Amino acid sequence: MENVTQALQGVPLNHYILLSAIIFAIGVIGVLIRRNAIVIFMSIELMLNAVNLLLTAFSVHHNDASGQIFVFFIMALAAAEVAVGLAIIVMIFRNTNSTDVNILNKLKW
Amino acid sequence: MSISLFYFVAFLSIFFALLVIFAKNPVHSVLYLIVTFFTFTIHYILLNAQFLAIVNFIVYMGAIMVLFLFVLMLLNLNESQGTSKSAIVKMIGVIAGMCLVITLVGSLKALHVSDPLVLQTQDLGLVKNLGKVLFSKFLLPFEVSSLLLLSAMVGAVLLAKKDIKQA
């Protein structure tokens, strides 16, 4: 384990922020351009993970374990969110026979 | 072993994340997402956050992705595959995302160059250290999250259950 973590030495914090920003933006693009509700859901998972990685990097940077505890709570929250969200998608599919979000535009007006 | 490992894994993360949102078939998207989460696990190991690496491996790659795959298989989305957003909407979405990246990177440029990340204490992300913090400082949020999981479970069962009166 020691020589693995040696690889960490020398990576600037800015590059972690850059990586997380790019992954987060990919998630945003996915939400904007896809119409399948499940793929939109997966993009939201991508955004959550980008934030998790950044929280861990900051936790190591500040030498404070609170950041990693927070990531743990976000993972519990994501599990709950996925369960409820997929149940909603299943219910929508049962009513409309599709997971296309454009069918569900009645709340738009 | 050098810092190039981080950049290689970071490249893989971005590559597979792009594949997730541009794959036509939702099942392929889920599989690419699993690979993306695996690269995130490698990032956690590089940061010596071993507990988070294991939890990410088990909860995200195991539980959540199986849930996604199950729902995709149950729904059988064959006939609704033909529809996708028009090209102009896609273009606008990509441009909006790029604007977000440019804004974030631009604000990052305003910062001065950061120091390299150095692991000050080796056992920061180990289970022993995290457990001590979790059960002393964060005991109340931990208990509240159990309530959250319980309510989510009840809610999911209630939502996915068929209506008894109609069935």
Full residue range of the structural domain in which residue A40 is found: 11-98
Distance from CA of B95 to the nearest CA of A (A): 9
A24-80: per-residue pLDDT in tens? 999 999 999 988 888 899 999 999 999 999 999 989 888 888 999 999 999 999 989
Give the alpha-carbon dihedral of A85, A88, A94, A97, to 10 degrees.
Answer: -60
CB contacts of B45 in chain A (<8 Å) are 4
Q: Which of A7, A16, A63 sits opposite B120 (nearest CB)?
A: A63
Give the count of beta carbons closer than 10 Å to the beta carbon of residue A55: 19
Full residue range of the structural domain in which residue B33 is found: 4-160
State how many domains chain B has: 1
Chains A, B: CB pairs < 8 Å: 263
In a domain, B154, yes or no: yes
Q: How far is CA B150 from CA A75, A77, B46, B145, in A?
A: 15, 11, 33, 9
Contact B49 A60 (CB under 8 A): yes
B72-124: per-residue pLDDT in tens? 888 876 655 555 667 888 899 899 999 999 998 888 888 776 677 777 777 78
| CATH code where residue A86 lies | 1.10.287.3510
Contact A33 B18 (CB under 8 A): no
pTM: 0.88
Query: With the C-alpha atoms ordered B109, B115, B121, B122, is the resulting torsion angle positive or negative?
Result: positive
Residues 6 or more apart whose CB falls under 8 angstroms from that of B95 comprise none
Residues 6 or more apart whose CB falls under 8 angstroms from that of B76 comprise none
Q: Report ipTM (2 d.p.).
A: 0.87
